[in-house]
């Protein structure tokens, strides 16, 4: 039998946790945070949902298998290291930055962000895979 407070609070906490995880991801290149911390916070949002409402609800909310997140994350990490060698003939994991005009501003996007996104997805997928497996085993 489940209570009422935790499922109700989860409805409000999940979007906040997911937004905070994106903040950590985007802030992490030059400041504390990054893909690892952001992935942990994103996974914690779905772990909270699984504790509050059950694993099946959390899996439906995730809308993908955690193994897919791990695979896509690892692929992005590898690709981020291969972009510079393939395009510019430089060594593996060399960083490259491109300035993209957005209105009156320029946004710098680069291969380290791609690597961080890969870490974010791989960490979130791994934590969710472990947690969902353990919770389904108990049921």
pTM: 0.90
Number of domains in the chain: 1
Q: What are phi and psi of 63, to 5 degrees?
A: 65, 15
Query: Could you report the average pLDDT of every consecutive run of 10 residues in the chain (139 residues)?
Result: 87 97 87 90 97 94 97 96 86 87 89 93 98 86
Q: What are phi and psi of 135, to 5 degrees?
A: -70, -35
| pLDDT value for 84 | 82
127 close to 58: Cβ distance less than 8 angstroms? no
Choose among 138, 133, 124: nearest CA to 46: 124
| pLDDT value for 30 | 67
pLDDT tens by residue, 55-73: 999 999 999 999 999 999 9
* 32: CB partners within 8 A, 6+ apart: none
What's the rounded Cα separation, in Å, for the pair 89 and 73? Answer: 24
118 close to 77: Cβ distance less than 8 angstroms? yes
| pLDDT value for 65 | 96
| pLDDT value for 1 | 61
Choose among 1, 25, 56, 48: nearest CA to 123: 25
């Amino acid at each position: 039998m489940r209570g009422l407070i935790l499922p109700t609070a989860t409805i409000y906490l999940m979007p906040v946790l997911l937004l905070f995880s994106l903040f950590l991801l985007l802030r992490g290149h030059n400041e504390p945070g990054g893909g690892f911390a952001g992935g942990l916070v994103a996974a914690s949002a779905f772990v909270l949902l699984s504790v509050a409402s059950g694993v099946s609800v959390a899996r439906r909310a995730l809308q993908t298998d955690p193994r897919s997140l791990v695979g896509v994350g690892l692929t992005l990490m590898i690709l981020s290291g291969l972009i510079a060698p393939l395009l510019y003939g430089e060594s593996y994991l060399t960083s490259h930055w491109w300035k993209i005009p957005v209105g009156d501003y320029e946004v710098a996007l680069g291969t380290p962000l791609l690597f961080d996104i890969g870490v974010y997805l791989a960490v979130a997928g791994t934590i969710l895979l472990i947690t969902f497996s353990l919770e389904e085993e108990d049921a």
